[in-house]
Structure 1
C-alpha cells in the first residue's frame, strides 16, 4: 500500500473519533437537559452509537500497532506501557475532580455517589456495581474503559503467549460472549467480559486485517453501508434493522464507510476535524462535568430552550476539550510515558526500549 491511502485512512479514523465523541456529547446534553432543565424534553439516543464506534476504531488501531511489536513478553510490556500511559493520566485527573465535586457539592451528583471501596475500584478500573446497581466507575462514562482495558489485557496476554493478538483476542472475546448466552453472569466482571459490545473490538481488528491485506472498500459500497447504518439508527421497522442495531453492527458499518469515503474536497474542514479527533478522549472525559454545569448555569440565567442550550454546551465542551488536550492531557501522557517506562521497560536493553517507545 502506498503512503497516501494510509494517511487518508488515518485521517478518516481521527475525524471519526471526533464524530463519535460528538454523538455521545449530544446524547448526554439532551439527557442533562431532560434531568436538570425540562423533563418534557426527550433524550436523543441515536448518539449512543458513538461508544461502539470507539470500540471498532480501537480494535482497528490495536491490530495495526501489533504488527510493529514483537510477540513476546517484551512486546506485551511495550503495548501495556503505551496503553496505560494513554488511558490513565487524564482518567485519574478527571476522577479526582469528580470526587472533589462529590464531597464539596453533594447535590451536584445526581447519580453514582462515591464510597471508599467503589472509589478504589474505579481508580484501577476494576468492574464493580455502584450504589444504583450499575457497573459504573465514579466517573460514569468511564464504563467504556472497563471494556477497553479488558481488551488490552487479552491483547497483551496473546503477546506473552506468542500468539497472534488478532486470532487470540477474537477467540477469547467471542468465546466469553458465547458463554454469556448460556451462563447468567452474576459479578460485575462477568458482565463486562460477556457483554456483546466487546465484539466491536473483533470487528475493528477484522476490518484492519482486511485493509492491511491490500483490499479496499468501494465508495458505492461505503455509501450503501452508511445508508443501512443510518436507517438502523433511525429505528426503521424490520427484523433486519433490529438485528443490525441490536448487535451494534451499525457502528461497524459506519467505520467501514469511513474507510471508503474521503473529505479531500474540503481540506480546511478536514484539518479541523482531524485536530478535533486528537482531543476526542478529552472531550469524552470532560463533558460529563462541564455540560451539566452549563445546563444549570443557563437555567439560572432563565434560558431553558434546548435550541440554545445544546449548541452553547456543545461548542463550550468541544473548545474546552481541545484546550484540555493541548495543555493538560498531552503533557500528562508524555510525563506518564517517561515515568511508567521505568516500570514497564526497566528489564529491557536500552536500545530495545528506545525502539519500542
Structure 2
C-alpha cells in the first residue's frame, strides 16, 4: 500500500480520541474544586486512558498499512524513521519548551537535565509527583511512540513476515520481563522498566489489525464506532477505577478499543457530516493533544468552577477551545513547518538515491 494512503475513518477516530484526552484534563479542575466527588479522578483517568489506548492501536495500524510494501531494505528503514522523527519532534519540542518556561517562571521547579531528557524522549522519574513523565506531561505517550518507531524501523530491515514476527517477539519478551521482575518492592521507576510496560502490546494489536482486518460490511462504521466509544466511557465511569489494575483486566478496555479501530479500518459506508468534521479535528489531533494542557490550565485561571453548571460550561469551553487551538496550530505552524522539513528531507533522499543509482 502506498505511503500516501489516507484512511478517512481512522483519521476521524483520532479526533475523537484526542477529545477524550481533553475531557480527562478538563474534568480535573471539577474534582479539585469539589464539584465532582474524588472518585471521579479515576473516572476521568479511564476516559483519557481510553483515548490513549485507541491512539496506540491506531499508530500500529497506520504504520503497517502505510509501510507493508516497504520492508526488506535499509534505505526504506532509514527513510521511515526520519519521516516519523520529523513528524513527531518539532511540535513536541515546541510544547516542551513552553512547559519548561512555565515551570521555570511559575512553579520555580526546574532542572536542565529534565529538559534534555524530555527533548530526547528518555523517560525519567519525577520524584515531586511520583510519576514517570517528562516536563510536558502528555509527552509520556510520545516516549512510547518513538520507542515503537525505533523497533519498527529495525524490523523494516527484514521481509514483512519476519519483521512483524520480530516486533511481536520484542514486545512480548519485554512485557514478560516486566511481569517477572517488577512488583511492589521494585516499582517501574527506570527508563528500561518504563518501556516494558504491557501498554506497548497495543502497537502489536494495531499491526495485526492492519494486516488482517477487512473492510467493515456495516453502514456508517464510524458512527457505530463512536457509539461504542461512548458506551465504553459510560462503562468506565461506572467501574470508577482502572488505574494500577492487573494486566489481564486491561482487556476490558483493549478489546472494545480494538473493535472500534477495526470498524474504522476500511472505507465501507459513510460517516456523513459528523465524520467529515471529526476528520478535520483528527488531522489536527496531534497539536490538540500536545497543547490542550495549556488551554485547560489557562481556563482554570480565568473561569470559576464552583457548581455543576459552571463545571459543564468549563468542560465544553475546554473541549471547543482545545480543538480549535489544535486546528489553528496545525494549519499555521505544524503543517507549514512539516512541509518545509519534508521538502528538505525529500531532496536529500532523492540525492542519495541518485548517487546509489550512478555508483
Q: Is TM more than 0.5 here?
A: yes
Paired position in structure 2 for 1:93: 94
Shift of 1:270: 2.4
Shift of 1:282: 0.5
SS of the counterpart of 2:264?
A: helix
Paired position in structure 1 for 2:352: 348
The one of 167, 170, 181 aligned to 2:168 = 170
Structure 1 contact 197–247 (Cα < 8 Å) conserved: no
Structure 2 contact 292–322 (Cα < 8 Å) conserved: yes
Post-superposition Cα deviations, 1:133-169, rounded to whole Å, max 9, x if no partner, equal 3111110101001111111010111123556432211
Instruction: State the distance in 2 between where 1:88 and 1:340 align.
Output: 14
Paired position in structure 1 for 2:113: 117
Shift of 1:279: 0.2
Could you say if the C-alpha distance between residues 33 and 63 of structure 1 is closer, same or farther in structure 2, counting changes exceeding 3 Å? same
SS of the counterpart of 1:248?
A: helix
Paired position in structure 2 for 1:289: 294
Structure 2 contact 288–323 (Cα < 8 Å) conserved: yes
Shift of 1:305: 1.8
Paired position in structure 1 for 2:243: none
Instruction: State the distance in 2 between where 1:151 and 1:167 align.
Output: 14
Note if 1:233 corresponds to 2:236: yes
Post-superposition Cα deviations, 1:158-212, rounded to whole Å, max 9, x if no partner, equal 123556432211111112111211122755222222111111101111011013x
Paired position in structure 2 for 1:138: 135
Instruction: State the distance in 2 between where 1:149 and 1:96 align.
Output: 19
Aligned residues: 333
Paired position in structure 2 for 1:69: 70
Post-superposition Cα deviations, 1:21-50, rounded to whole Å, max 9, x if no partner, equal 001100110013323685747343342200
Which ranges in structure 2 are unaligned for 5 or more consecutive residues? 241-247
Post-superposition Cα deviations, 1:307-337, rounded to whole Å, max 9, x if no partner, equal 1111111111111110010001111222333
Instruction: State the distance in 1 between where 2:251 and 2:337 align.
Output: 37
Structure 2 contact 77–156 (Cα < 8 Å) conserved: yes
SS of the counterpart of 1:299?
A: coil
Which ranges in structure 1 are unaligned for 5 or more consecutive residues? 108-112
Q: TM-score under structure 2 normalisation?
A: 0.81
Could you say if the C-alpha distance between residues 296 and 40 of structure 1 is closer, same or farther in structure 2, counting changes exceeding 3 Å? farther
Structure 2 contact 123–194 (Cα < 8 Å) conserved: yes
Instruction: State the distance in 2 between where 1:261 and 1:336 align.
Output: 30
Paired position in structure 1 for 2:205: 203
SS of the counterpart of 1:160?
A: coil
Paired position in structure 2 for 1:219: 218
Could you say if the C-alpha distance between residues 198 and 300 of structure 1 is closer, same or farther in structure 2, counting changes exceeding 3 Å? closer
Paired position in structure 2 for 1:47: 47
Paired position in structure 2 for 1:19: 16
Instruction: State the distance in 2 between where 1:260 and 1:178 align.
Output: 33
Instruction: State the distance in 2 between where 1:352 and 1:301 align.
Output: 66
SS of the counterpart of 1:348?
A: helix
Shifted more, 161-170 versus 334-343: the winner is 334-343
- Describe how 1:4-15 pairs up with structure 2 within 5 A: 10-15=7-12
Instruction: State the distance in 2 between where 1:137 and 1:270 align.
Output: 33
Q: TM-score under structure 1 normalisation?
A: 0.81
Instruction: State the distance in 2 between where 1:302 and 1:265 align.
Output: 36
Alpha-carbon RMSD across the aligned residues, in angstroms, is 3.5
Note if 1:312 corresponds to 2:317: yes
